Amino acid sequence: DGVVASLVLHHAARPAEAVQEMARLLAPGGRVVVVDFLPHREDWLKEEEGDVWPGFEPKTLRSWFERAGFADILIEEGPPPETSGRRDRPGADRRLKKLRLQWVEAIRTSMNSGRVAPSKSTKRR
């Protein structure tokens, strides 16, 4: 059993509650992979992409997952974008596609290697 939330939390009005919901839905021993942004100053994302939050500090993410009952929490920095910036810049679509593929591969590797946060096996969902 698993939950993957790729670039979701920064769109949520209440991201800590979204983590609680992941825990509620997950079967005991299941795993969660969350891909999201570290804090950044890309203000254009708010207007163009509907971002609510400008990324999250790892300690904040860890506290949300701990409160939701997760154990063995691993937070890793993923592959960085080649460049930051708006979609209207030359080559931006190609760079975004490459970044998305990097993230998908990082998620696949994490899920297959068991390097993601399993829920407490004693907790019944």
pLDDT of residue 111: 63
| Side-chain half-sphere exposure of 10, counting CA atoms within 13 A | 21
pTM: 0.68
Q: How far apart are CA 22 and CA 88, in angstroms?
A: 35
Q: How far apart are CA 89 and CA 23, in angstroms?
A: 39
pLDDT at 49 over 90: no
pLDDT of residue 110: 66
Task: Please tell me which of 40-44, 78-82, 102-106, 112-116 the model is most confident about, judged by mean pLDDT.
Answer: 40-44
Report domain extents, the chain.
2-78+114-118
Q: How far apart are CA 64 and CA 47, in angstroms?
A: 26
Q: Which of 39, 43, 53, 40 is nearest to 11 (CA)?
A: 53
